[in-house]
Structure 1
Amino acid sequence: MNPGSGTIAPHMARRGQLSQAPPELAVTGPFLRRRQRFVECMSWHRPGSWGTVWSMVRLLQIWFGPKRFEKGGAVYEKFGVDRFSRFLPFGYWTNRLIRALGAKNFRIINDESSAKIWVVFTMVVEFCHVVAFGLFAWFMVCDLLQADYAGAAWNGLLNLLVNVYPSMVQRYNRIRILQAFKLDLKEMQQWDIQM
């Protein structure tokens, strides 16, 4: 194999696959082989391209996209997420209060453009709650290791109320918005969002 050609890498030839990495990533050492595998992994869906940004968008679509068991939101309604969401910011009672204070036509989602903005907002908020869930879980583990069972129970309860349910609310809202406006996260890159 010509080291500068980048046509077939030995580790890919064993698997019967062609290397799509550019010539500057030709196999010349173990570090470059690992780097080439990473590039090929990240660009698996667009042969011949790096596709890193595209891969990140695809990973976001997989994480934030509706799963089969979530269709319709019935699973979240069984857990009481729809009732819990009424008391959150931008929930039913907050919207009702804003309308009572004088903004009679107040709506968070007015059209498809605001629905797309709100879908992205739910993704950001869910991500923040998932990160906070990890922190609270770490605090709970630390309390358990120190035999502070009351502290662990308190952190577990707080984690449930402050992170688990709000992230479920974001998923529930996103599913309902996607269904109501017939939006698809796979087409998210083509969304024309205007603030």
Structure 2
Amino acid sequence: MKKTLNLILIVVVTAALVYVLVRFTGIYKAGFAIALNFLLMGGALMFTETMQSDMHWGYFDLQPWESGGKVYERLGIHLFRKLLVWVGWEKLGKATKPVGKGAETLANLYYRTKIDELGHLIILVIVSAFTIVVAFRFGLVKALPLLISNILLNLYPVMLQRFNRPRIVRAIQLSQRKLNAQLI
């Protein structure tokens, strides 16, 4: 019951902060787009951390069309990864979530990709709704900051998690094989 109340409180407070942001800034400005995304990232992070789900949902399973990651490669996922390194996000991520070589550490990383993906997916949907409203009310050009920020700050991170997860699974399997070979 307490967890449910906390989740509701997180949603209400985040919605109230979004309302304040909308009320006191231009909804079609680049600053609004960035502020909205980061505000929602904070809310989504608190929501997913409080939720503490095992994340065994079918959505997170690798789809046949994703096999090998070729779709994501064609959509520029490697360029996005380089962008993350260039802006320092990769270094920040490694500092807050260090990656070890053990199966347990890799399993935690696998779980974190699901949590991160869910958070970005929630934000992607919300910012897409704002983008549609701004496009219809003020025109497509005024919606571009929201659209671009949504692609860079949410769509590509979702694709990156889906691109990385099968590689983490292979690393876990390799780590477990090595452990089993040592036990024999």
TM score, norm. by length of structure 2: 0.55
Shift of 1:77: 1.4
Is the partner of 1:146 in helix, strand or coil? helix
CA distance in structure 1 between the aligned counterparts of 2:172 and 2:152, rounded to whole angstroms: 29
Structure with more of its chain in helix, by fraction: 2
> Which residue does the alignment assign to 1:68?
64
1:179 aligns with 2:170: yes
> Which residue does the alignment assign to 1:138?
129
CA distance in structure 2 between the aligned counterparts of 1:116 and 1:165, rounded to whole angstroms: 22
1:117 aligns with 2:113: no
Q: Is the 8 A contact 2:127 2:150 kept in 1?
A: yes
The partner residue of 2:81 within 81, 85, 97 is 85
TM score, norm. by length of structure 1: 0.52
> Which residue does the alignment assign to 1:190?
none
Alignment of 1:2-21 (within 5 A): none
Deviations 1:113-137 (A, max 9, x none): 1110001100000001000001111
Percent identity between matched residues is 26
> Which residue does the alignment assign to 2:5?
none
Structure 2: segments with no counterpart, 5+ residues? 1-52, 175-184
For 1:152, give the aligned amino acid. Answer: A
Shift of 1:73: 1.6
Q: Is the 8 A contact 1:109 1:118 kept in 2?
A: no
Number of matched pairs = 119
CA distance in structure 2 between the aligned counterparts of 1:109 and 1:151, rounded to whole angstroms: 44
Higher RCO structure (Cα 8 Å, ≥6 apart): 2
Q: Is the 8 A contact 2:106 2:171 kept in 1?
A: no
Q: Is the 8 A contact 2:135 2:141 kept in 1?
A: no
Shift of 1:72: 1.8
For 2:133, give the aligned amino acid. Answer: C
Is the partner of 2:173 in helix, strand or coil? coil
